[in-house]
């Protein structure tokens, strides 16, 4: 586990009861995230700036989470509708473009640290915790897995 995430690992579902409860598929995704996070260090990108977060297409609850991490404050938990918002965001990504060549690394969120690809784990964890798992969550797990694999397969890395 990277040092940046040691103190928030339970908050993102990578430790504690949630880690156990979310099961083997979640564990596999956590491992894939760690590999992708490691690969992205080669790009040397730092955390997003506040204005970059504001202008991004990320769902507002995830923007608020990033702001809270940048300011070292506690994040506000989303409401039950977050699962639908997160699903709409993931469905709206340019999948054909995103998974080709180095296109994934052009995305604003494609970086390491608290304002990077960890937001996908946060989104999935919140969806499971506050909106219920179910079919949407399982489909979103596959979408996020595709993002992490696209990062690992990016020629630039």
Provide the pLDDT for residue 140: 97
Provide the pLDDT for residue 130: 87
Provide the pLDDT for residue 20: 84
Expressed as residue numbers, the domain containing 74 is 3-153
Provide the pLDDT for residue 141: 97
> DSSP alpha helices (H): ranges in 8-133?
16-21, 23-40, 50-55, 60-71, 82-91, 95-98, 118-130
10-residue averages of pLDDT along the chain (157 residues): 75 83 92 95 90 94 94 89 95 93 94 93 94 89 97 95
Tell me how crowded residue 51 is: count the other CB atoms within 10 A of its CB: 8
Cα separation, 125 vs 22, whole angstroms? 9
Domain count within the chain:
1
Provide the pLDDT for residue 81: 92
Cα separation, 79 vs 89, whole angstroms? 16
Place of tokens 């564990």: 27
């Amino acid at each position: 586990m990277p040092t940046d995430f040691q103190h928030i690992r339970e908050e993102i579902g990578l430790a504690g009861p949630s880690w156990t409860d979310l099961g083997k598929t979640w564990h596999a995704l956590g491992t894939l995230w760690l590999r992708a996070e490691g690969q992205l260090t080669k790009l040397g990108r730092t955390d997003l700036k506040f204005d970059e977060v504001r202008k991004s297409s990320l769902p507002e609850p995830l923007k608020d989470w990033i702001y809270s991490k940048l300011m070292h404050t506690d994040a506000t938990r989303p409401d039950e509708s977050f699962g639908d918002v997160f699903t709409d965001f993931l469905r709206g990504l340019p999948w054909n473009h995103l998974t080709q060549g180095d296109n994934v690394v052009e995305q604003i969120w494609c970086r390491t640290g608290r304002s990077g690809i960890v937001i996908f784990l946060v989104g999935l964890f919140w969806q499971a915790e506050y909106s219920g798992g179910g079919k949407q969550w399982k489909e979103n797990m596959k979408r996020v897995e595709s993002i992490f694999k696209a990062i690992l397969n990016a020629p630039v890395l």
